[in-house]
Structure 1
Amino acid sequence: MVEQEQGTGIRVEALSAEFTALAAQWAERLGFPLEHDEAAFAVQIGADGLQIQQLGPQAPGPVRVDFVEGQAAHRRQFGGGNGQMIAKAVGIAQGVRPQVLDCTAGLGKDAFVLASLGCQMTLIERQPLIAALLEDGLARARADDEVAPIVGRMRLLTGNAIEHMRAWQGEPPQVIYLDPMFPHRDKSALVKKEMRVFRPLVGDDLDAPALLEAALALASHRVVVKRPRKAPIIEGPKPSHSLEGKSSRYDIYPKKALKA
């Protein structure tokens, strides 16, 4: 069951009668009630799949995972390909498509970009509700002829990323990608509806130093940490260099060179 913080009561609801049975299945799986008048969030099931809707008079629209249309489709078609900063950060180059472990998958946006560029991706998401959105989005994307080959390169694991890394079996990932939730206190940083939903549910990643330590111990070639542009580095070893954009940067911790 997902831990519920103060003011984050959650209910599950079907958006139409035909999804009532499915809503009941999700309610049982996630451990949330179907009826909860005091809920601050609703997990909604309908024709467009699974979504989270913050409740209240000034709540933003629903949050869902969609790899087929919208922002994901636009970035896939017009995002800049191998010239994107994230591609450079993980080491994509001519003949080089590293195997990447994304330990902070969230809604899977960065992982999808890297998968669309040819990387084999393993995603870990520890918040069960966010993981459910991601699972649902991947399942729907597999039904799309154009996107199915991309999400076919994306494997989802749920649970604590540090524990997964410490217990890793088999060949280690070449690159480990981290984008831990930064403890913003400025309300202007919460404008995006995803952040307004995520903050109460997920909280800050206070174990980021341990996450980095485990990643550096496991990755065979490099660790990449995405941070807000002006944020301090994660406590621990210092990165060798950073790639900086308008609002974010990528701290690079190399271990050995990626080769074709």
Structure 2
Amino acid sequence: MTLPDVGQLPAGLTLVYRDGQLVLTGNERQFGKPLSVDFAAGRAAHRRQFGGGRGQLVAKACGLNKGLNPHVVDATAGLGRDAFVLASLGATVLLIERVPAIAALLDDGLSRAANIADTAPIASRMTLRHGDAAEALAALVADAAFDPEVVHLDPMFPHREKSALVKKEMRLFRELAGDDDDAPRLLEAALDVATHRVVVKRPRKAPPIAGPAPQHTLEGKTSRYDMYVHRALTR
């Protein structure tokens, strides 16, 4: 298989195919475990079957708990976990990822999911675009001919050393993505594009993103969703 062109990777990181799956890997002591996207097995499969359905916080924040299947732009797609949950519950999702290597992992994961019976219907509701949502969200949405009822944001936030040591799997991801210092600009772009609401995932005790105050908040044990509502979702 031909490796995708993702430009220059940070020193010590490599993209390889292992068992037919694209993997980003490096020294585990430095970067933690290798990264890949697998929507058909592991954590994604478990969450799809046992995660709580439309009662999950992300589903409630995006309006799926009302029996709706909105069009959701996941403007900070990352490894696609929340996007896959939303699509598995019936939403149509546009994933936008700005880091080339992570976008390549997503593309590989979606391609494989599209060829597996259990996940093919879900993958058919997921579309990927590579680009910087803070810089060009409107253009990326227009390019995909997508109706952006809801924009979901999960920006990377500055972390303490303690939390960085605990979450080993995020070391490699952070090496590529860094922190989202442009989160206020991303929120502004999302508010301009979303026709109905913007939902922002935050650590439970973190302040809101700088800018307009959220009208509603949904809070869980470790995280919360700040909600900026233009109008009610209906069908």
What is the TM-score with the length of structure 1 in the denominator?
0.84
Distance 1:56 1:145, change over 3 A: closer
CA distance in 2, matches of 1:153, 1:227: 26
CA distance in 2, matches of 1:230, 1:138: 33
- 1:194 CA displacement: 3.0
The aligned residue for residue 140 of structure 1 is 112
The aligned residue for residue 68 of structure 2 is 96
Q: How does 1:97-136 map to 2 (within 5 A)?
A: 97-136=69-108
Q: Which of 154, 169, 180 is the aligned partner of 2:155?
A: 180
- 1:202 CA displacement: 1.1
Q: Which amino acid aligns with 1:66?
A: D
The aligned residue for residue 26 of structure 1 is 3
CA contact (8 A) 1:42 1:55 kept: no
Q: Which amino acid aligns with 1:68?
A: A
Structure 1 consecutive aligned stretches of length 4 or more whose deviation exceeds 6 Å: none
- Name the SS of the counterpart of 2:64 in structure 1: coil
Q: How does 1:8-87 map to 2 (within 5 A)?
A: 22=1, 25-26=2-3, 29-32=5-8, 39-55=11-27, 57=29, 60-87=32-59
Higher relative contact order (CA 8 A, sep 6+): 2
Q: Which of 208, 226, 231 is the aligned partner of 1:233?
A: 208
CA contact (8 A) 1:172 1:218 kept: no
CA contact (8 A) 1:40 1:56 kept: no
Q: Does 1:156 align with 2:128?
A: yes
The structure that has the greater radius of gyration is 1
Distance 1:58 1:125, change over 3 A: closer
**Residue by residue, what CA displacement relative to the aligned partner does 1:175-214 show, whole Å, maximum 9, x if unpaired?**
0000000011233244333311012211100000000001
Structure 2 alignment gaps of length 5 or more: none
Distance 1:197 1:226, change over 3 A: same
- Name the SS of the counterpart of 2:128 in structure 1: strand
When the two structures are aligned, how many residues end up with a matched partner? Answer: 232
CA distance in 2, matches of 1:108, 1:217: 23
Distance 1:208 1:239, change over 3 A: same
Structure 1 alignment gaps of length 5 or more: 1-21
